[in-house]
Amino acid sequence: MKKLYYPIIIEQNQIARGTFSMKLQCNEIAETALPGQFVNLYCREGEMLLPRPISICETDREKGILTLVYAVVGKGTESFSRLKKGDTIKVLGPLGDGFKIDESIKTHILIGGGIGVPPLVELAKHLKGEIYAFLGFAESPILVEELESYGAKVFVATDDGSAGFKGNVIELFKNKNITGGMIYGCGPKPMLKAVGKWAEDMGIKAQISMEERMACGIGVCVGCVCKIKKKEEEDWQNRKVCTDGPVFWSEEVIWDE
């Protein structure tokens, strides 16, 4: 159930250029959050009223710790990066509809691009069977060790070839020729579109976490809609990424050209 909390920051580290990991002592969210959900973080500065949606990277239910990994992309996230251990921050969550886990599936393929990688960590913790993770970055891979610690076999692609495969993550994935019972994708829209197309061609189910600009994060402002096919119809409807998603079945999504 989504509620407002004011947890203490127990750790904040820069893990790559422009990318930070923040750990919060927030028992309530850590105990209830599901893979693929997110939280709204609120800035301290009064002029930045709108919250920033941040994917949940990992939870420790026993210790009540919530881990968020975010990139500095504007004034809001830049203000988060200046917070220190012992500071408090306003948080609303958990929010959204996350990944669906089918325990009968034995092979899982995780595909993440850039800051779309963090939610795959919590997902990997809940999967049983073989897990393959394909991660794409412009530079400086993150969260590889965390995914490996949960049993994932990780493959990395970087744009400049400084780590792993030189090229994009979809090229890397296709080169490895690995198929599975379920695909889970999170990252930029072009990557997700390519994931959905490949899954459709191969006849494999795929869940994708959509990235859209959000204002309220709770479905009030209707600012984060995407086109979703109506069941058993040719028509489509707008669905809210913040409440109906962010995770959708890839075959539902209508990709704007």
Which has more confidence, 229 or 76? 76
48-59 pLDDT per residue, tens: 678 899 999 999
Predicted confidence band at 244 (pLDDT cuts at 50, 70, 90)? confident
| Range from 94-108, 125-139, 242-256 carrying the lowest mean pLDDT | 242-256
187-215 pLDDT per residue, tens: 999 999 999 999 999 999 999 998 765 55
91-102 pLDDT per residue, tens: 999 999 999 999
> What is the reported pLDDT for 245?
67
Q: What secondary structure does DSSP assign to the chain, as a single string?
A: --EEE-PEEEEEEEEETTEEEEEEE-HHHHHH--TT-EEEEE-SSTT--S-EEEEEEEEETTTTEEEEEEE--SHHHHHHHT--TT-B-EEEEEESB-----TT--EEEEEEEGGGSHHHHHHHHH--SEEEEEEEESSS--SHHHHHHTTEEEEEEETTSSSSEES-HHHHHHHHT---SEEEEES-HHHHHHHHHHHHHHT-EEEEE-----SSSSSSS--SEEEEEPTTSS-EEEEETTTT-BEEEGGGBPPP-
131-156 pLDDT per residue, tens: 999 999 999 999 999 999 999 999 99
> What is the reported pLDDT for 212?
60
Predicted confidence band at 128 (pLDDT cuts at 50, 70, 90)? very high
| Range from 60-74, 189-203, 215-229 carrying the lowest mean pLDDT | 215-229
Domains and CATH numbers, the chain: 3-95 (2.40.30.10), 99-205 (3.40.50.80), 210-257 (2.10.240.10)
